[in-house]
Structure 1
C-alpha cells in the first residue's frame, strides 16, 4: 500500500478544496442565473400582459354584454395592432375557453397551442379572479403563458386573453459559455495562487515535523542530542517543547547512567586488581616465612636466599606488569587523528618482538594503505595484539604470527593470526571487558583498551578462535576516502 506523506495529504486537501469550491461556486452561480433568468422573463411577460389588457380594455371601454356581438374586423385589427406594438402573440378566448381570435393562427394549426383552454386552467382562473402564469408542457414544448379575464363595464368577464411567451427559458448558450470562460480564467489564476499557497502552507506545517523526525532519529544516550528552536505557541510548538524537555531529561539520564557505569566499571576493576595483587603476594608471604625459618635453623641459608631472591623478583615483576597495564588503560589520551600508513606501523610493532621472541613473523597485503587515526594509539593496538599472540605461543616451537592488511575502499582491514593455544569458549563473551587478569596469557584489560581505541577511530574489531589451533583478530579503520 502506497504511503502518502503528511505534506502531500495537506497539499492534496487544499487543492481539492479549491477545485471543489470552483465546482460549487460554478454550480451555484449557474443556478442563480437560471432562477434570475426565469424571474426576468416572468416579470417581463406580466408587464406585457398588463399593457395588452390595458389596451384591449380601453378599446372595449364602452362595450356591454358578451364580446361576440362586438367581434368585428375593427376588434381583430386592434388586437393585431396591440400585438405588433408589444411584440407579443395574443390569443383571445371566450369564457368557456374556445378560441375567438389569434394573431398567430399557425400556432393552432401546428398544434403548438390547443384550440381550447384546459378546463383546469379555466377553473384556476375563476378561483383566483386574476392573472395566472402557467408553464405550458402539453404539446411537448415548454413555454410561459398568461391567462387574464377581460371585463365589461358591469364588471363581468366577457373573454380570456392569453399571451404565450416563447423565449428560451434556459440560459442562452452563448451567455453560459462566456460566463464559464470568465469564471475559468479567474479560477485559473486562483488555482495557480492556491497551488503556491498550498505548497507553502503544507511545507510550513510539516517542516517542523520533519525536523522533529530527523532529530528524534538521532536521539541516543551516547550522542549529543540537539534541541529544536521553535518560537510558535501552537500545537506543533507544544510538541517540540515536549521533545526539548525529553532531550534535557535524556541528557540528565545519560550523565547519571555514564556516572553509574563508570562507578560500576571502576568497582569491578578494583576487585580485579585486588584479586591479581593477592596472587603474587601469597608466594611472597610464603617465601618470607620459609626464609625466616631457614634463618633460625641456619640450614642451607645461601641456597634458600637464592631461591627467595628469585621468587621475590618474579612476583615483583608480576606486580609491575599489573601496575603498568592498569596505568595504560587509565591514561588513554585524546586521539590526534591524521592520515597514517598501516604497513609502517605494523612493521615497527613487529620489530619490537622479532629479536626477543622465537616466533616466525609474516607481514603482507596492501602495506601502503592509509587510515585516518592516531598513530600512537594504533601502534598500541598492534603491540597489544601481537603481544597477546606471542604469549599464546609460549612453549611452542613452531609458533607463527601473520599480519595481513587489505584495502577495502572506505575501510582498511587488518588481520592478526597466530597458531597458539586459542581462547576457551567460556572466555569469548567477556574477552573485551576490562577484566584485568594475567592468568589468560596477558589478555584482559589490554583488549578492552584495543577495542576502545578502534571504535573511537570509527572502526570495529572481531575475533575467532579455536583451542590448540590459534586465534585471529580482525579490525577495520576508516581510510582517507571515507
Structure 2
C-alpha cells in the first residue's frame, strides 16, 4: 500500500491553519474569562448601586421622624413604603431584626415558597458585624442561585436597629444570556477572521513554495550538454540562499560537463593516436630497409636518378616516422612522478639547449623549489620554445625571452617571442588536440603542455598580438604548498 504523503505546500498551509486555530482558541478563552469577570463585576456594582439608593430612601424617611426609631416601629413605618421602594428600584427588599428574624418583606411569597429563609444564619450575622461595608453574598437556596447584599439600617443616633437585605435573582439568567450573546458575536467575528486568515494562509503557502517549485522545475530541465540559465531571486532570504546554491551547483555542473567532455575528447584522441602510431610504425622500418636495399642491388642506366628517387622515398618515410613518434608521445602521456626540485636550474639548463637562438633567461636571485616532474617540465619547456622559434618568420632576427618569478604560493614562468602572433579566432582552440596553425604540425604539442601543467596543479594561458609576438604563461605550485 502506497503511503500517503502531503506536499510541502499542504504541510505549510495546514501548519498555518493549526497555528490560527490555536491562537483563536487561546484568545477566545482569554476574552471569555475577561468578559465573565467584567460581567460579574458589573452586576455586583449594579446591586450595590441599588442597595445604596434603597438605603438612602430609608434614611430619608428615618430622618423625618423626630422621635427615636426602634426596630419594632420599622414595621409600621415601612408597611406600605417598602413596596413603593421595591417597585421604584425593581428589587425585592427584606428587613430583618438584629437577631436575624424577618420583620417585613416587599415579597412575602419568597419566604412562603421557601425560596428564602425567614431567619438569617449566624455566619451571615457574624459577617455583617465584622464587615466594614455592605456584605455581598452568593447564595444557593434549594437550587436557586442569587446574590444578596446585607447592611445595617441605623436611626438618627447612628445606632443599628435592623438589617436590610436585597436579593438579586436576575444574576444567573442575565449572566447566561450575556454569555450566549458574547459567544455568538465572538463566533461571528472568528468565522470572518477564519475565512480571511485561511485565504491569506493559502496565498502565503503558494508564495513560499512557488520559488521552490520553480527551482524544482529548473532542476528537471537541466541538460548536461547544453547551457542552463541561472535562477534569479531578488530577496536575501533562505530561498535566496537556496537559489544561490542552485546557481553555484549549476556553474559547477557546467564546468564538470566541459571538463568531462574535454577528457573524453582527449582520451579518444590518445586512443586514436596510439592506433595511428602503431599502424604507421609497423611498415616503416621494412620500407626503409627495402628502399636502401633496392638502391644497392638494382642496376640501371641512370644511377643518379635512382639515388634521387631513393633519397626522396627515405625522406618521406622519415617524415611518416616522425609523425608516428609524435602521435606515440601524445598517446603515452606518462604518469607524473612528483618530487621537489629547483625550478631555476631545470629551466636554465633547458634554455641552454638552444645556443643558436640566444634565449634571454630572466630570473630573480633566489632559489625556489617546486613540486612536480622534472622530465615533464623539460618536455613543456621544449614544446613552448620550439613553438616560439617556429612562429618567427624567415628573415627576422629571433628575440626569445624566458622569465621566472615567484608569485605568493606559485612560480610564474613565461616564454615570449617576436613571431607572427595568434589570431583571436584561433585562440579558443589553441590547446585542443589536432589543432595547429603550422603547415607541418600535428596540433598535439600544446595539448600535451596543458595536460602536464594541469597535472602539476598549475594553469597555462597566453597573450598574443598579430605581427608583434606571443607570450605563453604557466604556473607551478611551490613545494611547501
> In the alignment, what sits opposite 2:110?
107
**Residue 237 (str. 1) matches residue 240 (str. 2):** yes
Distance 1:169 1:18, change over 3 A: same
Is the contact made by 2:75 and 2:104 (CA closer than 8 Å) also made in structure 1? Answer: no
Q: Please, which runs of 5 or more residues in structure 2 have no aligned partner?
A: 301-312, 325-481
**Cα distance in 2, alignment partners of residues 181 and 51 from structure 1:** 35
How is 1:1-12 mapped onto 2 (pairs within 5 angstroms)? Answer: 1-12=3-14
**Residue 95 (str. 1) matches residue 98 (str. 2):** yes
4+ residue runs of structure 1 moved beyond 6 angstroms? 63-66
**Cα distance in 1, alignment partners of residues 176 and 78 from structure 2:** 40
**Residue 33 (str. 1) matches residue 35 (str. 2):** yes
Is the contact made by 2:147 and 2:171 (CA closer than 8 Å) also made in structure 1? Answer: no
Q: Can you list the C-alpha shifts for 1:210-253, whole angstroms capped at 9, x where unaligned?
A: 12223234446444333102111122112211221222232223
Distance 1:89 1:101, change over 3 A: same
**Residue 160 (str. 1) matches residue 159 (str. 2):** no
Distance 1:172 1:150, change over 3 A: closer
**Which of 45, 49, 64 lines up with 1:43 in the alignment?**
45
Is the contact made by 1:34 and 1:171 (CA closer than 8 Å) also made in structure 2? Answer: no
Shift of 1:202: 0.9
Give SS of 2:79's match. Answer: helix
**Which of 230, 247, 252 lines up with 1:249 in the alignment?**
252
Distance 1:165 1:31, change over 3 A: same
Is the contact made by 1:108 and 1:115 (CA closer than 8 Å) also made in structure 2? Answer: yes
> In the alignment, what sits opposite 1:54?
56
Shift of 1:175: 5.2
Give SS of 1:158's match. Answer: strand
Distance 1:126 1:74, change over 3 A: closer
Distance 1:129 1:26, change over 3 A: closer
Distance 1:205 1:241, change over 3 A: same
Q: Can you list the C-alpha shifts for 1:133-178, whole angstroms capped at 9, x where unaligned?
A: 1111243321111000111233221111000000033556665555
Distance 1:184 1:212, change over 3 A: same
Distance 1:80 1:178, change over 3 A: closer
> In the alignment, what sits opposite 1:127?
130
Distance 1:198 1:172, change over 3 A: same
Distance 1:180 1:70, change over 3 A: closer
Distance 1:180 1:154, change over 3 A: closer
Bigger CA drift: 170-179 or 78-87? Answer: 170-179
How is 1:419-430 mapped onto 2 (pairs within 5 angstroms)? Answer: none
Please tell me the root mean square deviation across aligned C-alpha atoms, in Å: 3.3
How is 1:323-472 mapped onto 2 (pairs within 5 angstroms)? Answer: none
> In the alignment, what sits opposite 2:212?
209
Is the contact made by 1:130 and 1:149 (CA closer than 8 Å) also made in structure 2? Answer: no
How is 1:120-199 mapped onto 2 (pairs within 5 angstroms)? Answer: 120-169=123-172, 171=174, 178-199=181-202
> In the alignment, what sits opposite 1:227?
230
**Cα distance in 1, alignment partners of residues 284 and 80 from structure 2:** 148
**Cα distance in 2, alignment partners of residues 172 and 135 from structure 1:** 14
Is the contact made by 1:90 and 1:163 (CA closer than 8 Å) also made in structure 2? Answer: yes
Q: Can you list the C-alpha shifts for 1:249-280, whole angstroms capped at 9, x where unaligned?
A: 32223323322332232122211211122334
Distance 1:22 1:170, change over 3 A: farther
Shift of 1:283: 5.1
**Cα distance in 1, alignment partners of residues 173 and 18 from structure 2:** 30
**Cα distance in 1, alignment partners of residues 179 and 235 from structure 2:** 48
Bigger CA drift: 181-190 or 12-21? Answer: 181-190
Is the contact made by 1:65 and 1:158 (CA closer than 8 Å) also made in structure 2? Answer: no
Give SS of 1:159's match. Answer: strand
Q: Can you list the C-alpha shifts for 1:420-464, whole angstroms capped at 9, x where unaligned?
A: xxxxxxxxxxxxxxxxxxxxxxxxxxxxxxxxxxxxxxxxxxxxx
**Which of 75, 80, 101 lines up with 2:78 in the alignment?**
75
Q: Can you list the C-alpha shifts for 1:58-86, whole angstroms capped at 9, x where unaligned?
A: 22234777733314433322222222221
Give SS of 2:78's match. Answer: helix
Shift of 1:29: 3.6
Q: Can you list the C-alpha shifts for 1:169-193, whole angstroms capped at 9, x where unaligned?
A: 3556665555544444444443333
Is the contact made by 1:33 and 1:171 (CA closer than 8 Å) also made in structure 2? Answer: no
> In the alignment, what sits opposite 1:477?
none
Give SS of 1:145's match. Answer: strand
**Cα distance in 1, alignment partners of residues 98 and 5 from structure 2:** 76
TM-score normalised by length of structure 1: 0.55
Is the contact made by 1:144 and 1:164 (CA closer than 8 Å) also made in structure 2? Answer: yes
Counting matched residue pairs gives 302
Bigger CA drift: 31-40 or 206-215? Answer: 31-40
